[in-house]
Structure 1
Amino acid sequence: MPAPETLTRFIALVEQNAHVEAIEAFYTQDASMQENTSAPRVGRDALVAHESRVMERARTVRSKCVGPVFTNGDFVVIRWLFRFEFQDGTVREMEELAYQEWRGERICKEQFFYDPAQFAPQSPVASR
């Protein structure tokens, strides 16, 4: 079960848009991430590689946790809002729920729930 201070540090790192660094610091070596019902990506190295590719495509990223954060023992649910402006000028805004299982102070399993229609690129002028 993560300590409240650990969750605070994790959320702060993501809100600083240090997504790759958050994976490196807060996920187990054998961690998995799953997008909705897709097959999970497994292994911290694979998670870092995937996130690095996403972040390389972005010119700017804005990440915001919308509280409250729900915890129940080893399980945590976080509501996130993201805004990506990509190198080609397109903008993508999305809202998701991250359902996490923690092993001590690290995430061992995470599944994201979101509406895939949010991936439709928007023009640069469209924003919240």
Structure 2
Amino acid sequence: MSNLQNLNELNQMILSGQILDAFEKFYDDNVVMQENSQEPRVGKDVNREYEKQFVSNVEEFHSAEVLSTAENGDTTMAEWHMDITFKGGQRQQLNQAAVQTWKDGKIIKERFYHGE
């Protein structure tokens, strides 16, 4: 499968609510993930806990949409729009771009660009 095909499957799993399953399937054990210019999180265990915390803080996903995707060699990107209510009642419209670097069908690096 191409990196773009893997990205599309990853995105479909996220859209169907399988966020943690997608993480297990497509992320390398040594993945490095980063939000904007914050300090990177290194390793699958650390990032798994971050993802679990995010999911546990969501009260309701009203909608999520992949607006665009692209591929250039080992790099892919996905532009997202999400409408989420977090626990405690805070509803947010989130826009982000996620840029992934792939190796052997797994994401080894991912950086998210979004408003803070």
Using the aligned pairs only, state the percent identity: 25
The structure in which a higher percent of residues are strand is 2
Alignment of 1:1-128 (within 5 A): 2-61=2-61, 62-67=63-68, 69-116=69-116
Per the alignment, do residues 83 and 43 of structure 1 end up closer, same or farther by CA in structure 2, a change over 3 Å counting? same
**Offset at 1:3?**
4.2
Give the aligned residue type for 1:100: Q
Please tell me the residue identity of whatever aligns with 2:45: D
Segments of structure 1 that go 5 or more residues without pairing to the other structure are 117-128
Aligned-partner Cα distance in 1 for 2:115–2:3: 30
Which residue identity is paired with 2:65? K
**Structure 2 counterpart of 1:124:** none
CA distance in 2, matches of 1:26, 1:47: 13
How many residue pairs are counted as aligned between the two chains?
Answer: 115
Q: Indicate the RMSD between aligned Cα atoms, in angstroms.
A: 1.5
Q: Which has the larger radius of gyration?
A: 1
Displacement of 1:8 in angstroms is 2.1
Superposition TM-score, scaled by structure 2 size? 0.90
Instruction: Supply the distance in 1 between the matched residues of 2:114 and 2:88 (Cα, whole angstroms).
Output: 24
